[in-house]
Amino acid sequence: MTDKFKNIKKDFPIFARYPKLVYLDTTATAQKPKCVIDALDEFYTTCNANVHRGIYKLSEIATEAYEKSRKVVAGFIGAKSKKEIIFTRNTTESINIVARSFLPKIIRSNQGTVLISSMEHHSNIIPWQIMKKQLNFNLQVIKLTPEYELDMDDLEAKLKKYNVKLIAITHISNVLGTINPVEKIASLAKKHNCYVLVDGAQAVGHIKIDVSKLGVDFYTFSGHKMMGPLGIGVLWAKEKLLEKMDPFLGGGEMINTVSWQSFTPADIPYKFEAGTPNAAGAYALGKACQYLEKILPYIKEHEENIMKYFIENIFKIKDLTVYGPPLNKKIGIFSFSIDNLHAHDISYILDEQNIAVRAGHHCAMPLHKKIIKKPSTVRASFYIYNTLEDIDKLIKGLQKAVKILK
């Protein structure tokens, strides 16, 4: 760990509560700094009221806090306007909004193709499969190279072969850690007059995101993977596209007028935020963005040091295979298997040693079945609060697991 972050665990109360915890599952959810936890308490203690509903002072204070966070999030990802920020529950909901509210605007039965990649999370597979049943479009999958990178030649070939209307791609794989060349993908998409949606769940909080420079049309992410609370997510989209899209859900707040027979939707972003929002979560997400803003320039260097140490030492474990691209093409997400040992058994033994990793197909079953060719893997993921000592403990834990299981 670099000197700058040797004491950073003190910012995260979970490590004071569990001092022996080696937390290697940030890909599933990041731990929360005290400023984010305090923000939730602050909202409920000082301004708990329904936003946009009342003209009394407490509601106005709550509304101001909610909308201030929208502005903070917009600035954090380089959005041109806070109108482009839709608060959702998570990345999954954000993608579903685009699938249901935007896709029918651009695709007709048997007259278009949606492209996804072989490394997608189920959240960026199933929404398109659901809509395929309704719209009967062509769903194609971009291949990977033997190095577990996106096959750009295959992408270009499919753009030429099919009438592609939308590319839905992950920015960073939650299994392989692969960083996809989103700017290049967006540039190719423009040449073929198609739109680009990015699942940024694993990218925001690890690398600097500027949606204005990426050239994409939609960018989605979850608060809980970037040190924010559970249950709050974001859909960013270009303002002109949001204007054209129909509301995703109907109910309170997302309307201007209602009669017995019809309604007129509210202006953006509110027409996509039906019902009472997670205002406290949005407020705390803003605090997470502010916390990350201070340390984001250093996270890459810190992760690179951890990754290098991991690769230098992990092959002390015999019969171990790591799946993913070279270190300069990824972030600190490593999925691996050990011959003849089940991932769940390994994870169980590691847990007995206070080491938290993920075991399974990581919501990427097609990737495991078709490419990794394993039903499950063990995944260790690293973040700013991890240390080289955590890697040492992981390796010792794996050695113990091998001794017990073989």
3-class secondary structure for the chain? CCHHHCCHHHHCHHHHHCCCCEECECCCCCCCCHHHHHHHHHHHHHCCCCCCCCCCHHHHHHHHHHHHHHHHHHHHHCCCCHHHEEEECCHHHHHHHHHHHCHHHHCCCCCCEEEEECCCCHHHCHHHHHHHHHHCCEEEEECECCCCCECHHHHHHHHHHCCEEEEEEECECCCCCEECCHHHHHHHHHHCCCEEEEECCCCECCECCCHHHHCCCEEEEEHHHHCCCCCCEEEEECHHHHHHCCCCCCCCCCEEEECCCCEEECCCCHHHCCCCCCHHHHHHHHHHHHHHHHHHHHHHHHHHHHHHHHHHHHCCCCCEEEECCCHHHECCEEEEEECCCCHHHHHHHHHCCCEECEEECCCCHHHHHHHHCCCCEEEEECCCCCCHHHHHHHHHHHHHHHHHHC
- Annotation marks residue 363 as catalytic: yes
Q: Catalytic residue among 47, 194, 289, 363, which?
A: 363
Active site residues: 363
